[in-house]
Amino acid sequence: MAATKRLHVTTETAGLMRALKAGGADVVLCASNPLSTQDDVAAALVEEFDVSVFAIKGEDHDTYYSHIEAAVDHKPHLTMDDGADVIGVLHSARREQLGDIIAGTEETTTGVIRLKALEAEGKLGFPIIAVNEALTKHMFDNRYGTGQSTIDGIIRATNVLLAGKKFVVAGYGWVGRGVASRARGLGAQVIITEVDPLRALEASMDGFDVMTMQQAAEVGDIFCTATGDKSVITREHYDVMKDGAILSNTGHFNVEIDIPALKSLATDTRTAREFVEEFTQPDGRRLYLIADGRLVNLAAAEGHPALVMDMSFANQALSVEYAVQHAGELDRKVYPVPAEIDKEIARLKLATMGVDIDVLTEEQARYLASWDEGT
């Protein structure tokens, strides 16, 4: 069975590719982000494991899309996407292939939002399992994995000391709260911006300072966007930022920081360190952009540790298996990962960590299911 994977080309992805091949799939891989490819991994997959890979670190916009096209040429029966760009191509230029596809999975918050929009318009061409919605995916990958690796990327890129810094996180979703928690754990004073009052309230109760981006722009030392939306930091914010402010993004696409505005405002630009561009403002203040506003954990560090990706990719592999086994029952909708898969992955993970937990006794299970036991 042919499968097209579009994922970050890292060692962890390589592990997933090998598992799928072992399960009998004919696999083709392209990059989910122009900067996240590890070229040595790509080479090893091709040479040692006979997986077709279309991805080069730093590839330009046209090459990136030509690589997606090349992967789709493979006529996949299954897709695994990370940001929904393969699915996007299939639903626009390649609509004739939609009927061949049994199902797909989607890895990211951003991709799931896009696919639900497609479903709402009645245009979704095949069933999707939203891997991102699994607890063993988003709680661990988005929160703990991205939390640590985003901070890691910022530190590697800048060697900045976080202690004592005002660190602004835009968005208090799973990723944002992971980043916020880890920045605080390293001694930063963390500020949150949000558009959702429930999340804003939660951030405040978690001890973070909540304010608008316009207020935060004046006091922040380091900024990191994690909203999944565009134009979160833009011209009116650059105008009031402090000299030396550092800008980074850990949302899926590099649209959260308005880079065209940053470039057009600058009177001078230079590379301050590897991955760090300096933009001098007309009044002399210098703003620093990391990794061209792309996912800072993948571009400037190594992405998630293998110890988180194992759970995300277990969801991918088991969800694809589930989709093939239940192909007849699935409509052109976005489905969650079945709860049994989710729980089983957690159980296996705890076992590998050597952690024992309690099991409900029969008496306890019965009590939870009853409505007539009183005080």
Site for its own copies in 29-88 (CB under 8 A): 33-34, 61, 64, 83-85, 88
Closer of 25 and 217 to its own copies (Cβ): 217
Whole-number minimum distance, CB 320 to its own copies, in Å? 21
Stretch that binds its own copies, among 42-50, 100-108, 306-314, 323-331 (CB under 8 A): 306-314
Site size for its own copies, by CB under 8 A? 104
Phi, psi torsion values for 81, nearest 5 degrees: -120, 160
| Residue 174 engages its own copies in binding (rule: CB under 8 A) | no
d(CA 73, CA 75): 5
Whole-number minimum distance, CB 166 to its own copies, in Å? 8
Closer of 132 and 136 to its own copies (Cβ): 136
Question: Any residues with CB less than 8 A from the CB of 359 and at least 6 apart, and which?
Answer: none
Q: Looking at residues 227 to 266 of the shown chain, list those that interact with its own copies (rule: CB under 8 A).
A: 228-232, 242, 253-255
Cα dihedral 327, 328, 333, 336, rounded to 10, equals -60
Whole-number minimum distance, CB 361 to its own copies, in Å? 7
Token couple for 54: 């279309």
Select from 18, 94, 156, 333 the one that contacts its own copies (CB under 8 A): 156
How many Cβ atoms are within 10 Å of 1's Cβ, its own excluded?
14
Closer of 134 and 266 to its own copies (Cβ): 134
Q: Looking at residues 316 to 345 of the shown chain, list those that interact with its own copies (rule: CB under 8 A).
A: 342-343
CA distances (Å), origin 366, targets 28, 58, 371, 373, 374:
49, 57, 10, 10, 14
Closer of 2 and 346 to its own copies (Cβ): 346
Select from 36, 37, 38, 148 the one that contacts its own copies (CB under 8 A): 148
Closer of 67 and 77 to its own copies (Cβ): 67
Stretch that binds its own copies, among 16-24, 100-108, 150-158, 282-290 (CB under 8 A): 150-158
Question: Any residues with CB less than 8 A from the CB of 23 and at least 6 apart, and which?
Answer: 317, 321
Residue 64 · residue 35 · CB < 8 Å: no
Whole-number minimum distance, CB 356 to its own copies, in Å? 5
CA distances (Å), origin 10, targets 33, 74, 179, 298:
11, 21, 21, 9
First-to-last CA distance in the chain?
Answer: 58
- Using the structure block, give the residue that is written with the tokens 């939306």: 229
Whole-number minimum distance, CB 16 to its own copies, in Å? 17
Select from 54, 126, 140, 174 the one that contacts its own copies (CB under 8 A): 140
d(CA 73, CA 28): 10
Whole-number minimum distance, CB 360 to its own copies, in Å? 5
Select from 19, 44, 70, 139 the one that contacts its own copies (CB under 8 A): 139
How many Cβ atoms are within 10 Å of 375's Cβ, its own excluded?
2
CA distances (Å), origin 153, targets 82, 149, 292:
20, 6, 13
Closer of 77 and 165 to its own copies (Cβ): 165
Q: Read off the DSSP letter of residue 188.
A: -
d(CA 309, CA 287): 33
Phi, psi torsion values for 112, nearest 5 degrees: -65, -40
Whole-number minimum distance, CB 39 to its own copies, in Å? 16
Q: Looking at residues 261 to 300 of the shown chain, list those that interact with its own copies (rule: CB under 8 A).
A: none
Q: Looking at residues 193 to 222 of the shown chain, list those that interact with its own copies (rule: CB under 8 A).
A: 193-198, 200-202, 204-213, 215
Closer of 26 and 119 to its own copies (Cβ): 119
Closer of 25 and 131 to its own copies (Cβ): 131
